[in-house]
């Protein structure tokens, strides 16, 4: 038993899940998971409380926003948000943001 423990390596559950889900989920879903992971840090708490990523396809991130006034404000910040999100992802995944009024899940 001790030999097994010495030879075994710990594997983080996210690595196991990503590996398993990769067989069944399209690559876009994996990318969306990455976006969810960095969202709050990338956009900051005030925005994260009023806007959440909903879907990602072909470089377009669709974001649910709490109100039309937030949509208006976020349109001015779109380019900066894209740069920050991609920097946090260490990849140029997001090319465009589309804002829609919708449910914000915490």
List C-alpha distances in Å: 100 to 51, 52, 55, 58, 84. Answer: 9, 10, 11, 17, 20
* pLDDT tens column, 72-104: 999 999 999 999 999 999 999 999 999 999 988
Residue 44 backbone class (left: φ over 0; alpha: ψ -120 to 50; beta: rest): left
The SS3 call for residue 63 is strand
Q: How far apart are the first and last CA of the chain?
A: 43
Look up the pTM and report it: 0.71
Can you name the CATH fold of 27-101?
A: GMP Synthetase; Chain A, domain 3 (3.30.300)
Q: What is the mean pLDDT of the chain?
A: 85
Phi and psi at 31, nearest 5°, equal -65, -40
């Amino acid at each position: 038993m001790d030999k097994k423990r010495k030879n075994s390596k710990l594997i983080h559950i996210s690595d196991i899940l990503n590996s398993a889900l990769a067989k069944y989920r399209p690559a876009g879903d994996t990318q969306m998971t990455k976006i969810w992971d960095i969202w709050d840090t990338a956009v900051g708490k005030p925005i994260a409380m009023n806007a959440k990523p909903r879907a990602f396809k072909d470089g377009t991130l669709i974001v649910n926003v709490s109100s039309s006034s937030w949509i208006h404000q976020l349109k001015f910040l779109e380019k900066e948000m894209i740069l920050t999100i991609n920097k946090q992802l260490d990849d140029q995944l997001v090319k465009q943001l589309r804002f829609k009024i919708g449910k914000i899940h915490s």
